[in-house]
Amino acid sequence: MVSEAGPKRQMQRSKLSSQLYSMVKNDILQGQLLPGSPISEEALAETYGVSRSPAREALAELERVGLTQRSGMRDRKITVPSLEMIREKFELWWIVDVGRTYLASLSASKDDVDELEQYAKQMAAAVEKNDVRTYKSVSHKFHLKIRHSCRNEAVNEVGRDCDVYLDWFENLYDRYPECSMLIVQEHRSILDAFKRRDLAGLSETIRNHIERQRDRILQHFQAAEEKQKTRSKLSARQRVSS
C-alpha cells in the first residue's frame, strides 16, 4: 500500500513556499526590502514563521526571476539594478509583449475589443481631468486585459517575469506615470494595431510605448544614482573631518 503522507506533505510544502515567495516578492516590489538588503533562509524562516525548507525554495524562485543574487553559500541579497540591467529587461519586455499582444489579438472577441475601447476612452477622460490615480488604474486594466487574452501559457509565463521587473522599476524610480494625451494616443495606436491583428504595427507601437517608459525610468534611475554618490561623498568628508 502506498502511503499518502509523503505526497501530501510535499504538496503542503510546495504551497507554503509559493505563498512565501509571493509575500517576499511583493515586499521587494513595494520597496519594503530595498536593493542590496541581505536576505537569508534563516531570516525568512524566522520572520514569516516557517521552516527552512520552504524558505530555501522561495529564495531559489526569487533568484530564478532575478530579484535576488547570491552573496555566499546560503545567503543572498536583493538585486541592485544597473543601467545595463534596466535596458536589457526593457528590450526583453518589448519582444515578449509584442508576441503576447499579437497572440491575444488573434483570439480576441468583439466584447474584448469593446472593453479595450472603453478603457481607452476612460484614460482620455482621466487625462483631461488630470486625474493621475484613475489614469494609472485604467491603464493597468487596459494592459491586463490584453495579457489575459493571450492563450499561450508558455509566453504568459515569460511575460509575467517581465511584468515583475516593470512593476519593480516603476515602484523604485517612477511611481507617478506620465499622464498626457500623447500617452493616450500611444494606447490608441496599440489598440488600432490590435484590432487589425497587425504584427508589424504592434511591434512599432509597443516599442514606442515601452521605450518612452524605459527612458523615464532611466532618467529617474540616473538621478537617484547621482544623489547616492553625493551622499557618499558627504559622508566620507564627515568621517575625515571627525
Tens digit of each residue's pLDDT (9 = 90 or more) over 76-131: 899 999 999 999 999 999 999 999 999 999 999 999 999 999 999 999 999 999 99
Residues 206 and 90 in one domain: yes
Do 113 and 207 reside in the same domain of the chain? Answer: yes
Say whether both 111 and 151 belong to one domain.
Answer: yes
Amino acid at 181: M
Decide if 45 is inside a domain.
Answer: yes
Is 210:91 a contact under the CB 8 Å cutoff? no
127 in the same domain as 9:
no
235 found inside a domain: no
Q: Give a yes or no: residue 189 inside a domain.
A: yes
Say yes or no: 90 and 44 in one domain: no
pLDDT in tens, 149-170: 899 999 999 999 899 998 999 9
Q: How far does CA 108 lie from the centroid of its chain?
A: 24
Same structural domain, 113 and 192 = yes
CA distances from 240 to 45, 226, 235 (A): 40, 21, 9
Residue 211 sits in the same domain as residue 139: yes
Domain count, the chain: 2
